[in-house]
Structure 1
Amino acid sequence: MSSRHTGRIASLMLIATLVAGTAAAVEPASAEGSWTLVQAGSLLDRPGQAPRGPSTVLVRDGRVVAVREGHVGANAFEGAPASATVIDLRDRFVLPGLIDSHVHLTSDKAGIEGQLEDVSKGVADHAYEAAVNARKTLAAGFTTVRNLGDSDGVTLALRDAIAAGKVPGPRILDAAMPISATAGHMDPTLGYREELHDALDTHHNTCNGADDCRRAVREQVARGADVIKFASTGGVNSRIGAGLGKQLFDDEARAIVETAHMYGKKVAAHAHGDDGIALALRAGVDSIEHGTLMEKDTIALFRKTGAWYVPTLSTVNGYKERLAKNPEAYTGEVRRKIEWRIGITGKALEAAVPAGVKIAFGTDAGVSLHGRNADEFELMVAHGMTPATAIQAATVNAAELLGLRDEVGSLEPGKRADLIAVSGDPLKDVTVLKRVEFVMKDGRVEKDPR
């Protein structure tokens, strides 16, 4: 059996055993006919519209059945039994479960420390780390995430384990291994001596030329990817002095996008420099991640193509906190790029918002800290959004980007019963979303300190 297959099997086994002691807490809800009433003090059931006052949400078998004004009992809903469970959130503001469109669940270290872990820790270590990070993310109120970078099948396996109810965590859409040109941002051999390259480049995610890029996409589809990610530009954390401009040719980017779309997969492009953003948009990507430098013509391309912009402003918090803890956490070219990124973060969002670019919420958690995903809201508001539009970005907008608008993003009949509760009004003070007190996913209570 190949090392790749044994690694994936190890991931599944270890994630399953990680929470063996809490299995009772994560068993799927039983039973047909499992009824719950959630009584809310205020309810933002459809972000983008005005919130309701006191309201009651009826949940059956993990999905929303109906919403009523006021704090009503089961008798207000046709067919609901008198024995329905009642969850009292009458002193809380209730809204849909949040969606983070850009996370890295296996990553919790960066800079020199992260590079060391790449070679000192194995698949088993990363499997445990991903499971812990998934729990942190769910506890923060994020019930769905798009994981934009997997290695050794860890998050692919975690995705399936969560979906099967074996372990707690958010719903995951996974990109498998991101695609890159050789020496591009996602080349796994960057920064390591040559004799280690064969051991590190195990998923064949680098490509050169259009035909080879088609091959790279097909390999990730075969591994089970829900979405395809590629790097059209250099990256801040790339251990190479190649800048942040484009790193693919037009025919290579088109080959990636056309192949992914042929398989029914959406495409996310890591892109910092304006030339690489424009290249990806012309190729037909579904979202631009980071989008740090955008000229007027490129912003117009967003509107023309309908692509989404995922700003990932929270990376600056991760950089600042790691540098405060260890001033030598980043060195050389990477340190210079980080300082540049900290200084320019938010400028592109300030231009994109008034231009009508579609915005979806994403943090790049893994560079920023897991469980701190809601820090992004404060930064979005500081750089041109309102609390209401920032919440939209993390609910209905992100659901549309992920292709899940019929399942999540709002609390409407037929959709999954993913909801959270906070003290205070996030439409007035978006920072209250940093303190989520109650989490329900698929109708099951995942967090309730009471």
Structure 2
Amino acid sequence: MRLILLNPTIIDGKSTEPIEGFSIIIENNRISKLSKSPTQTEIKGAKVIDLHGFFAIPGLFDTHTHLVSPLSDVFHANETTVARYIRAGKECMDGLSVGITSVRAVGTHNYLDLAWKRSFANNMFSGPRIFASGYALTTTAGHAVEKEITYASDGGPGFRKIIREQLKEGVDHLKLLMSGGCFGDRWDSPTDTHFLTDEIESVFGIAQQRGYKVAVHAGSPESTKIAVKAGAHSIEHGYSLDEESVALMVSNNTYYVPTLLITHMTNEAALTPYHKNYITQWPLPNNLLERANANRAAHSSAFKMALEAGVKIAAGSDAGPLKDASILEIELLVQNGMSPMNAIKAATLTSAAVCEADEELGSIEEGKCADLVILRKNPVEAIGNIRSVYQVYKNGKLAIDESQ
């Protein structure tokens, strides 16, 4: 059945200003037409929803998620594998309820991202589309080596074997943990680079040979430069950057997923009631609070440097639950200097490009897949209005209806 969304204000993910006076016509899961005045022929037999006074944005992305919080061992101690699998799916479904129609997984246990990807794609359950990585690749004494979401190896041959196993399972991209992390152990600092030259060449050699993109966890300018020169598709975190690393990202069209929430999960960084409630509900242990506070200034500075230089920035939270963390990350983009309009673009069209899906997703354009979020309030006026969800459409079908 043809669906006509009548006269919402359209924030299309591309334009610099909201668009007035157009209706969105959806047929066969796609946006068939943006019409100033639907014809009687188009209206006949169609379902028409009057959205005058509402706001339509593209479906939102989170391009850095593990489907469950990477701190699940803290917040969900002693959770069984089966319980974690179920919770991952539930949190994805809850994410759809706030407008997250697509996610890029960057490290999950036992390919649970692929399991849920197939379940949602086959309509067994209603959830966001998933771009899957399988395990994140690390080294012995590398970042997150103790976490179940990583697969550790050493030397070029070891990584070649792991990557081929990942490809065999059906992953969409690869995730490489090049450096230490903000919440790492003593030997796992963001300033440390863990991969050797032969290991890097093995990872990127196979990725380039087989046509797969690599998302690289890089915490320092040095690890960022190594990753970009090797061919990284995106830099994850970038807790500190310098002018050279930022210039390399610009010249190589490398995407940046800053995951600002990681260093903003503290009272000192919480400026809104929603943010304060989040850190009350999901409090970091004291040792992690100290690290977040210690790294936040450099992280914010790196983000602002990248923003001013014109680096392509996408939205990804690296936290959970998805329905809370993803929206909070979009707010933090604005809190750290991005305009609301550009934050929406970061969470839609730029994020779709990170997932190599911008021909199909990420903007409200004729011919594209009809993933849409209808809001009661204008998110350009205040980014917090992105929470005022009225309806969510995925593949042209009404997935979430908060109109009652």
Q: TM-score if structure 2 supplies the norm length? A: 0.90
Q: Across the two proteins, how many residue pairs are aligned to each other? A: 393
User: What is residue 282 of structure 1 aligned with on the other side?
Assistant: 229
Q: 2:57 aligns with which of 88, 95, 98?
A: 95
Structure 1 residue 259, shift from structure 2 partner: 1.1
- Structure 1 gap segments, 5+ residues each: 1-33, 190-199
Q: Does 1:376 align with 2:329?
A: yes
* 1:326 positional shift: 7.8
The one-letter code of the counterpart of 1:287 is S
- The verdict on how the C-alpha distance between 1:338 and 1:46 changes in structure 2, with shifts beyond 3 A counting, is closer
Question: Are positions 1:35 and 2:6 aligned together?
Answer: no
Q: What is the match of residue 46 of structure 2?
A: 84
Indicate yes or no: 2:354 matched with 1:354: no
Instruction: Please give the secondary structure, in 1, of the residue aligned with 2:324.
Output: coil
Q: Deviations over 1:41-88 (max 9, x none)?
A: 311235234322132111112111001125x4553xxxx461111122
DSSP-derived class of the 1:412 partner: coil
Q: Does 1:121 align with 2:121?
A: no
**What is the CA distance between 1:127 and its match in structure 2?**
1.8
Distance 1:418 1:326 in 2: 30
Structure 2: gaps (5+ residues): 268-275
Deviations 1:344-373 (A, max 9, x none): 43211111111111111111133x754341
User: Are 1:166 and 2:121 an aligned pair?
Assistant: no
From 388, 394, 399, the equivalent of 2:352 is: 399
- Of 96, 105, 117, the residue aligned with 1:138 is 96
The 3 A distance-change label for structure 1 pair 370 and 95 is closer
| 1:330–1:74 distance in 2 versus 1, CA, 3 Å | farther
Which whole-Å CA distance do the structure 2 matches of 1:298 and 1:259 have between them?
24
- The answer to whether the 8 Å contact 1:181/1:248 transfers is yes
Matched with 2:270 is: none
Deviates more, 1:170-179 or 1:216-225: 216-225
Deviation per CA, 1:384-429: give whole Å up to 9, x if none. 2111211111111111121101110112222111011112322222
Contact 1:178 1:186 in 2 (8 A): no
Task: Give yes or no for contact 1:178–1:231 (8 Å, CA) kept in 2.
Answer: yes
Distance 2:281 2:46 in 1: 50
* Other structure's SS at 1:102 match: strand
Task: Confirm or deny: 8 A CA contact 1:107 1:130 kept in the other structure.
Answer: no
Tell me the secondary structure at the aligned position of residue 362 of structure 1. coil
Distance across 1 between alignment mates of 2:340 and 2:386: 10
SS in 1 for 2:260: coil
- SS of the counterpart of 2:163? helix
What's 2:210 paired with?
263
Corresponding residue of 1:242: 188
Quote how far apart the aligned CAs of 1:224 are: 1.6
Cα distance in 2 between the residues matched to 1:163 and 1:435: 27
Contact 1:234 1:272 in 2 (8 A): yes
Aligned amino acid, residue 292 of structure 1? Y
Structure 1 contact 123–152 (Cα < 8 Å) conserved? no
> Contact 2:138–2:176 at 8 Å: present in 1 too?
yes
Match of 1:441 in 2: 394
Task: Decide which of 62, 74, 79 is 1:112's aligned counterpart.
Answer: 74
Distance in 2, matches of 1:153 and 1:430, equals 34
Contact 1:111 1:330 in 2 (8 A): no
Highest Rg: 1 or 2? 1
Q: Residue 303 of structure 1: which of 239, 244, 250 is its match?
A: 250
Question: Is 1:216 aligned to 2:159, yes or no?
Answer: no
Compute the displacement of 1:435 (Å). Answer: 2.5
Give the superposition deviation at 1:169: 0.8
Structure 2 distance, partners of 1:160, 1:215, is 25
- Residue of 316, 334, 340 corresponding to 1:387: 340
Do structure 1's residue 428 and structure 2's residue 378 form an aligned pair?
no
SS at 1:206's partner residue?
strand
Instruction: Give the whole-Å Cα distance in 1 for the aligned partners of 2:188 and 2:105.
Output: 26
- 1:341 CA displacement: 2.9
Q: Distance in 1 between matches of 2:142 and 2:242?
A: 23
Once the 2 structures are TM-superposed, how far is the Cα of residue 106 of structure 1 from its aligned partner?
3.0
- 2:220 is aligned, of 257, 266, 273, to 273
- Please report how far the alpha carbon of residue 226 of structure 1 lies from its aligned counterpart in structure 2 after TM superposition: 0.8
Residues 136, 370 of structure 1: 8 Å contact kept = yes
The code of the aligned residue for 1:426 comes to: P
SS at match of 1:91: coil
**Cα shift at 1:156:** 0.9
Of all paired residues, the percent bearing the same amino acid is: 28
CA distance in 2, matches of 1:319, 1:206: 31
Is 292-301 or 180-189 further displaced after alignment? Answer: 180-189
Say which of 25, 34, 37 aligns to 1:67.
34
| Aligned-pair CA distance for 1:110 | 4.2
Distance 2:9 2:43 in 1: 24
- Residue 420 and residue 256 in structure 1: after superposition, are their counterparts in 2 closer, same or farther (change >3 A)? same
Deviation per CA, 1:276-330: give whole Å up to 9, x if none: 1111111110000111100111111102221101111122454556764587x52
Q: What one-letter code is carried by the residue in structure 2 that aligns with 1:58? A: I
Distance 1:444-1:416 versus aligned 2 partners, 3 A rule: same
Deviation at 1:440, TM superposition (A): 0.4
Distance in 2 of aligned mates of 1:430 and 1:112: 30
Q: 2:112·2:134 contact (CA, 8 Å) conserved in 1?
A: no
SS in structure 1 opposite 2:194? Answer: coil
List per-residue Cα deviations over 1:237-275 (Å, max 9, x = no partner).
Answer: 334443212111233223212212222211100111221
